[in-house]
Structure 1
Amino acid sequence: MMNKLAIVAATGILLSACAGRSDHQTFYHAEQGNYDAALQSAKAAQGSGLDGLLFGSGASQCRDYGAVVTVYVAQGDFAGATEACRDYDSQCAVVPDASLCFAYRQSELSGAGSDQELATRLKEEAQQTLHFRWLMIRDDYEGRDIKRPIY
């Protein structure tokens, strides 16, 4: 009887942790073009999730920095992206890298403010990244068959 109760409790915790998937909300809002809501959702996800509940704030606090940076770039806020990169380097990075921030070069983020062509390219790449991530999360969240290659 005690084992069944423990299994039911563990299942309930897992389901409640997965039910409000912040990554789904982040990329859903980005897909709709609502980058402010996407950014808010990505920031709210930092420090949340089952790993944060079970193991403290360590890894979970750092889990959505990539999404935060990508949303900043997609909306053209390169200063915000640069600041998020600095925060990630100081709080989360095992080996901080001043030249790279996820998929972005720091020099490109810095130069995008004065180079319109670079800014447009970075924004389009970030929007495309968010779109593809949305497609993958949507399929997983809605239980659809995988329609993408597995590498």
Structure 2
Amino acid sequence: MTHPASVLAWLTEATWPACVDAVRTHAPEDADVVLLHVTGHDAAGIAHGAYAGLLGRGHRELDPGNRLEGLGAASADRLFAAAERRLGRPCRRLERHGRAEHEVVAAAEGAGLLVVVRDGDTRRPGPGSLGPEARFVVDHATCPVLLVGP
């Protein structure tokens, strides 16, 4: 992302409604809104490895990692569609794969604003209200960050 008037909204399954609502409230109407979702490789990678290690490398069509990848993509599509409906304005989708915290920081490079939702223990204010991934993003993002409650 290089457009300085761009707003990057980091969507997670647990916090996306609050993120979209914050964009609706705080992003200028003419801002280029980008909805970001990151799919991790953990579950599919473990399934691929287990299948290859235990059952051999033949019959790729039976590899459970492929099914997990497909389920992840379908889930991301549903999340994007719901977020777009809730946002109610033009936006773009950005799907990345890898460690969420690293992918979000990389995607936010050059953004005008990054919207992040608290994902930790929100019963008490303070550092514990951020999970490890959100804490990393807040600490390492090179653009302004809007931190909102769930």
Q: TM-score, normalised by structure 2?
A: 0.29
Higher relative contact order (CA 8 A, sep 6+): 2
- Name the one with the larger helix percent: 1
Q: TM-score, normalised by structure 1?
A: 0.29
